[in-house]
Chain A
């Protein structure tokens, strides 16, 4: 499937959901499904991160990067120092021969 078609389909599954929410102001979702939707980001983000770190051939370097980056993000509360610090830690580990 071409990249352009994938992009179009991604848009086609994103826009209607946003519109639907704005249009269904009086609808009440059952608590279980409200809770499900609230947990989707945590769950998906974790599923994206862990295999990319632990399943990678260079997993020790990536683990170092994510531990350093994660701590920086947690302490500073912002993204940029975490990404930059994590990337620096990755290179530190790589230069040390990890």
Chain B
């Protein structure tokens, strides 16, 4: 339930941004039905608005969703799935569904099951798509999103995803390096490429610093 409360404003904000970027109600909804990945949908809406290159949008999506491989790896270690189950579960796997499955799943009688995973996934999927529809239709009613300053919702929404992740000095350092790097790059390069380069650069920095500190810790 608390997850739904978090998803609804995010989905509505995504839909309003997508509509402001010139996507139709159908296109806005189609992205929620197929891609079903909040952060990358929102990023794509912002990039559409800034007129970014299409391949940049796709590459940013690929980078953002590369982390889903981690959720799959983690889930498949505790929950053996048949091939049809994997094919189905993969479409609806998100950060939130993974979180619910690993935290609440083991508390169920009989432990984490495919039914529990799919149930969590589908409930989030329904809420996400319903909220998208509401936002997309609301976006059509608003007179002029530009004049209302709706564009500020985009950085605010991502700030909302970023803030809970800032735990400890290393994550703050990575965020600052990537954010300031992106700002500097955005003066000379197109939007999609900036996110991709700064995103990869920041994650490499984080991986380098964290594995280095682990190595020195294990040697000491």
A25 at the B interface (CB under 8 A): yes
CB atoms of B165 and A45 under 8 A apart: yes
A83 and B157 contacting across the interface, CB-CB below 8 Å: yes
Q: A46 touching B162 by the CB < 8 A rule? A: yes
Asked if B76 and A48 make an inter-chain contact with CB atoms under 8 angstroms apart, the answer reads no
Q: Is B140 an interface residue (CB 8 A)?
A: no
Q: Mark A2-23, 1 if CB is under 8 A from B, else 0.
A: 0111111111011101111111
Chain A residues near B179 (CB, 8 Å)?
46-47, 49-51
Contact A83:B178 (CB < 8 A) given known A15-B90, A18-B72, A22-B76: no
Q: How many A-B residue pairs have CB under 8 A?
A: 283
What's the dominant secondary structure at chain B's contact region?
A: helix
**Which chain A residues have a beta carbon within 8 Å of chain B's beta carbons?**
1, 3-11, 13-15, 17-25, 27, 29, 31-56, 61-62, 65-66, 69-70, 73-74, 77-80, 82-83, 86-87, 90-91, 94
Q: Which residue numbers of B lie inside 8 Å of A, CB to CB?
A: 2, 5-6, 8-10, 13, 23-24, 27, 30-31, 34-37, 39-41, 43-44, 46, 48, 54-55, 57-58, 60-77, 80-81, 86-87, 89-91, 93, 149, 151-166, 171, 174-176, 178-183, 186-187, 194-195, 198-208, 210-211, 214
